[in-house]
């Protein structure tokens, strides 16, 4: 029986922290669905297709090595509805620190009340990627900084191309 996990986020852009969590997901599930949340009030740096491509490119070798199935979808409602729609039973949440844990525990509790059939699993970021956030990566890239240590190579190239000549 195939185990399916759902990993939700904005992934704008995908970071080495996201890749670290996905690597861990691949050891838990045979099928991993990455759900890119679309928020009508927010203007993302990259459109959905670019984010989906960056995710696929960033973990292609891991997907092949682990023999898992990777899907990338969008969602704009409750994450538990997206998890159900994807046919998953595991909701994966990455944790960087205690602040993340406090917030994610509240969310897990609420989601558990609304969807007791879905299990939330917390995966801690490894120490090397713990401080990385997509927000900080965007800020550094926009100001002309080097983000190669924080994002996969294909993402760094896209950020560089996006901001070339803008600083």
Is the Cα torsion angle 69, 6, 81, 8 positive or negative in sign?
A: negative
> 10-55, pLDDT tens digit by residue?
999 999 999 999 999 999 999 999 999 998 888 899 999 999 999 9
Domain assignment present for 137: no
Percent of the chain predicted with pLDDT > 90:
89
62: exposed, middle or buried (C-beta count within 10 Å: 0-12, 13-18, 19+)? middle
144 falls within a domain: no
Predicted pLDDT of residue 167: 47
- How far, CA to CA in Å, does 65 sit from each of 59, 107, 142? 10, 32, 34
- Please report the pLDDT score of residue 41 as a whole number: 81
Residue 119 lies in a domain: yes
Residue 40's SS3 state is coil
**Which residue, 140, 152, 120, 135, is CA-closest to 28?**
120
Task: Summarize pLDDT for 69-84 with one digit per residue, the tens.
Answer: 999 999 999 999 999 9
Q: How far apart are CA 60 and CA 79, in angstroms?
A: 25
- pLDDT of 130-164, one tens digit each? 999 999 999 999 999 999 999 999 999 999 999 98
Answer yes or no: is 146 within a domain. Answer: no
The answer to the question of residue 102 being in a domain is yes
Under the banding of pLDDT at 50, 70 and 90, the label for residue 124 is: very high
How many domains does the chain fold into? Answer: 1
In a domain, 21, yes or no: yes
Which CATH number goes with the domain that contains 68? Answer: 3.40.50.620
Residue 64 located in a structural domain: yes
Provide the pLDDT for residue 165: 64
**What is the per-residue pLDDT across 153-162, written as a single tens digit (0 to 9) for each?**
999 999 999 9
Looking at residue 100, what is its pLDDT? 85
Predicted pLDDT at 8: 97
State the pLDDT at residue 98.
87
In a domain, 49, yes or no: yes
Q: Could you list the residue range(s) of the whole structural domain that residue 111 is in?
A: 4-129
pLDDT at 166: 61
């Amino acid at each position: 029986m195939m185990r399916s996990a759902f990993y939700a986020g904005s992934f704008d852009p995908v970071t080495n922290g996201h890749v670290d969590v996905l690597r861990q997901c691949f050891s838990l599930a045979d099928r991993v669905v990455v759900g890119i949340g679309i928020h009508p009030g927010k203007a993302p740096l990259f459109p959905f297709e670019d984010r989906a491509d960056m995710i696929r490119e960033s973990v292609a070798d891991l997907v092949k090595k682990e023999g898992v199935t990777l899907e990338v979808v969008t969602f704009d409602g409750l994450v538990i509805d997206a998890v159900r729609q994807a046919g998953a039973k595991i909701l994966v949440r990455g944790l960087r620190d205690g602040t993340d844990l406090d917030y994610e525990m509240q969310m897990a509790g609420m989601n558990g009340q609304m969807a007791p059939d879905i299990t939330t699993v917390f995966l801690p970021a490894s120490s090397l990627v713990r401080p990385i956030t997509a927000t900080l990566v965007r800020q550094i890239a926009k100001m002309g900084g080097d983000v190669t240590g924080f994002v996969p190579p294909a993402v760094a190239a896209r950020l560089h191309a996006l901001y070339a000549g803008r600083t």
